[in-house]
Structure 1
Amino acid sequence: MLMKCLELGDKCAKYPVIQGGMGVGVSLSQLAGAVAHAGGVGVISSAQIGFDEPDFKTNTREANIRALTRHIKNALAMKREGLVGVNVMVALKDYREHVRTAAQAGADIIISGAGLPVDLPELVAGTGTKIAPIVSSVKAVKVILSMWERKYKRTADMVVIEGPEAGGHLGFSREDIESGIRERFDDEIRGIIECVKGYAERFGVHIPVIAAGGIFNGDDVRHALSLGADGVQAATRFVATKECDASDAYKQAYIDASADDITIIKSPVGMPGRALNNSFIRRTKDNPERITECFGCLAHCNPSQVPYCITKALINAVRGDIENGLIFCGSNVSRIDRIITVDELIGELIV
């Protein structure tokens, strides 16, 4: 396969392969740094990134900022022919602070979804950090790019299209997912690419468009490129790598998963999400947990109205308590049967 390097203005990655951001704690500097070293774009998730800091429970905001800076610096020190990015969810309570911290720490690019990142250009102003929104529809990309053009006189450095087969939070309704939207999504990808081209022409730049969701092997990459995408983003497959920051038990849950173990949940974030249907999901479906402490992770979360604390559930999982935690996954998780290295995985995706 002839894959061009990923050029983002004055920044470049040898391969247009992006490792998707996964929180809490699944994609930190160990994984992101390894991907950036191998020539791809390694992405750190900022979501509750300070969970391992000694003062996380008592000083959550500062612990997250401190850990975010440290992980970015560590990953940048590891990169060779790739780039280091940070995924910051718009839904986070401290979204603006996380973006500013990532840019000041020297992140090559910030990728932002789980909401519309309408003020992202303002937050990176004066830095060399590139910006990329995550979208799932032509409507969403038009709203974001038209606002950036009107308010900031600039456009995106890259656009990530996240399809319905992705893991974690999804930009689709449960009805759309269950009605077979994935069979029709190729047309949406083509439409988004055409829309982005219009903005690129007006600004006299090339805006790479990245296809995400359900990317498992070279065949999926070839299909994405045939639609006009410039590269791909994969997340689920990077969990089953030696360098992934998650616990061995978390990785083993992926290896053991069957297609029947995958379910669509309603996340406390307020969006549908794809996850493994473990005992935690089954237990909290009809019996919400009593939340005794709040970590202030989401801008819009009422602890008395959600079935569980998503921070606690994600931390439990990444640490290895998989039956008492939330394990997000993509639609192809059941196809994973072994642990490989990041180098091996990128080699599979680019041939």
Structure 2
Amino acid sequence: MGMNTRVTELLGIEVPIVQGAMARIANASLAGAVSEAGGLGIIACGGAPLAWIEEQVGMARSITSKPIGANVMLMDPNAGAVAELLAELRVDVITTGAGSPANYMQLWKDAGIKVVPVVASSALAARMERLGADAVVAEGTEAGGHIGELATMALIPAVCDAVSIPVIAAGGIANGRGIAAAFALGAEGVQIGTRFLTVDECTIADAYKDKVIKAKDSDTIVTGRGSGHPVRCLKNAFSRKARKLEDDLAANGDELEAMYVGSLVRAIDGDVDNGTMMAGQSAALVYERKAAAQVVAELMAEAQALGALDLGALAAANARRERARGASSAQ
């Protein structure tokens, strides 16, 4: 099952699968299980108390001796303190979102941490490379949670052409076919979130998991576009009401704000009617519950059966891109 790409070598993992940092969901139980299975588990730190973050990192390290990552939401008012704590804890990898990690890059580098920002455009990816990022996660709009505008099919090759550091594809990937497609587009790893919502080690309520398993391809909705913070989630009474209220933000802003408070926690606890069930479009490709190790093994087996992870072809493609980048720079 194991394989080597620049992503696996960089992150010290066995397979090129990174678990998505799902806020309030990606805890030690899930991250530890994914890392133990050979991928990279990520603990989501956005909005979390420092004591919880330290506890979860410790718990994950009790589950596995393999690399563990953490995600920092840079728009979090507490981001600075989180950044310093993760440096002290010396997590192996930090992924970032919702802002620039420039203020913390040297801090993390000095602690020996690999830094992998999540980006939604080739311009932002190039900027992260200039800042010293070790790799980038290029996330298409098919993803769950906070999203950009570009679709994965267009975004991944554009980012691969724009940077020389490894690219990890995200958005809409939930099976081996998706991994194969991502590698065909130039990525050397994938980030997967929604597929891991239903694994045994994910601690969300069974009702939430059941909604993901039953979801069809048209069962996600994007809220928050009017406020500039679009979020993809499953359709339910809550998300439909939110979209209706967004038609007149000036009149309904206060009601919307009150609605959103605690909405993700409600969903996690099992209130699937009145909570935000974050999930990507790939929920339609999730059919069952399994252990994380089974999911990782099956993802890799399917991708490899499709012949997608041909390292010779991957190296040749990287060389071609570098030649093209060099020619473009010389003009």
Calculate the TM-score normalised by the size of structure 1.
Answer: 0.77
> C-alpha distance in 1, partners of 2:259/2:42?
24
Read off the aligned partner of 1:339 and give its amino acid letter.
R
- CA shift for structure 1 position 2: 7.6
- CA shift for structure 1 position 187: 4.4
Distance 1:95 1:269, change over 3 A: farther
Read off the aligned partner of 1:336 and give its amino acid letter.
V
1:270 and 2:228 aligned: yes
Q: 2:148 — aligned with what? A: 171
Q: 1:4 — aligned with what? A: 4
Residues 131-210 of structure 1: pairs in structure 2 closer than 5 A? 131-146=115-130, 148=131, 155-172=132-149, 182=151, 185-197=152-164, 207-210=165-168
DSSP-derived class of the 2:163 partner: helix
Q: 1:76 — aligned with what? A: 61
Kindly indicate whether the alpha-carbon contact (under 8 Å) linking 1:268 and 1:307 is maintained by their aligned counterparts in 2. no
> C-alpha distance in 1, partners of 2:155/2:17?
21
Q: 1:54 — aligned with what? A: none
Q: 1:27 — aligned with what? A: 26
Read off the aligned partner of 2:287 and give its amino acid letter.
D
- CA shift for structure 1 position 334: 2.2
Could you tell me the percent identity over the aligned residues? Answer: 32
- CA shift for structure 1 position 253: 1.6
Structure 1 residues 254-280: Cα deviation after superposition (integer angstroms, max 9, x where no partner): 122233321111169732121111111
Q: 1:315 — aligned with what? A: 265
Distance 1:214 1:284, change over 3 A: closer
Q: 1:260 — aligned with what? A: 218
Read off the aligned partner of 2:33 and give its amino acid letter.
A
> C-alpha distance in 1, partners of 2:227/2:14?
35
DSSP-derived class of the 2:281 partner: coil
Structure 1 residues 14-49: Cα deviation after superposition (integer angstroms, max 9, x where no partner): 11100101012x110000000111111001111233
> C-alpha distance in 2, partners of 1:144/1:102?
20
> C-alpha distance in 2, partners of 1:195/1:91?
25
Alignment partner for residue 108 of structure 1, among 75, 92, 97? 92
Query: Structure 2, unaligned stretches of length 5 or more?
Result: 247-252, 302-331
Kindly indicate whether the alpha-carbon contact (under 8 Å) linking 1:39 and 1:83 is maintained by their aligned counterparts in 2. no
DSSP-derived class of the 2:77 partner: coil
> C-alpha distance in 1, partners of 2:99/2:137?
13
Kindly indicate whether the alpha-carbon contact (under 8 Å) linking 1:8 and 1:158 is maintained by their aligned counterparts in 2. no
Query: Structure 1, unaligned stretches of length 5 or more?
Result: 50-63, 149-154, 173-180, 198-206, 289-302
Deviation above 6 Å: which 4+ runs of structure 1? Answer: none
Read off the aligned partner of 2:54 and give its amino acid letter.
T
> C-alpha distance in 1, partners of 2:158/2:219?
33
> C-alpha distance in 2, partners of 1:269/1:261?
22
State the aligned residue count.
294
> C-alpha distance in 2, partners of 1:188/1:334?
21
- CA shift for structure 1 position 137: 1.1
1:224 and 2:182 aligned: yes
**Greater fraction helix:** 2
Q: 1:339 — aligned with what? A: 289
- CA shift for structure 1 position 100: 1.7
Q: 1:299 — aligned with what? A: none
Structure 1 residues 192-233: Cα deviation after superposition (integer angstroms, max 9, x where no partner): 123221xxxxxxxxx321101111111111111122211111
Structure 1 residues 144-191: Cα deviation after superposition (integer angstroms, max 9, x where no partner): 333x2xxxxxx112211101211111122xxxxxxxx53xx5343223
Residues 296-315 of structure 1: pairs in structure 2 closer than 5 A? 304=254, 306-308=256-258, 310-315=260-265
Kindly indicate whether the alpha-carbon contact (under 8 Å) linking 1:48 and 1:311 is maintained by their aligned counterparts in 2. no
Kindly indicate whether the alpha-carbon contact (under 8 Å) linking 2:144 and 2:280 is maintained by their aligned counterparts in 1. yes
> C-alpha distance in 1, partners of 2:223/2:108?
33
Alignment partner for residue 197 of structure 2, among 229, 235, 239? 239
Q: 1:130 — aligned with what? A: 114
> C-alpha distance in 2, partners of 1:225/1:350?
12
Kindly indicate whether the alpha-carbon contact (under 8 Å) linking 2:2 and 2:14 is maintained by their aligned counterparts in 1. no
Q: 2:250 — aligned with what? A: none
Read off the aligned partner of 1:346 and give its amino acid letter.
V
- CA shift for structure 1 position 309: 5.4
Calculate the TM-score normalised by the size of structure 2.
Answer: 0.82
Q: Supply the RMSD in Å over aligned alpha carbons.
A: 2.3
DSSP-derived class of the 1:132 partner: strand
Structure 1 residues 322-344: Cα deviation after superposition (integer angstroms, max 9, x where no partner): 21211111112123221111011
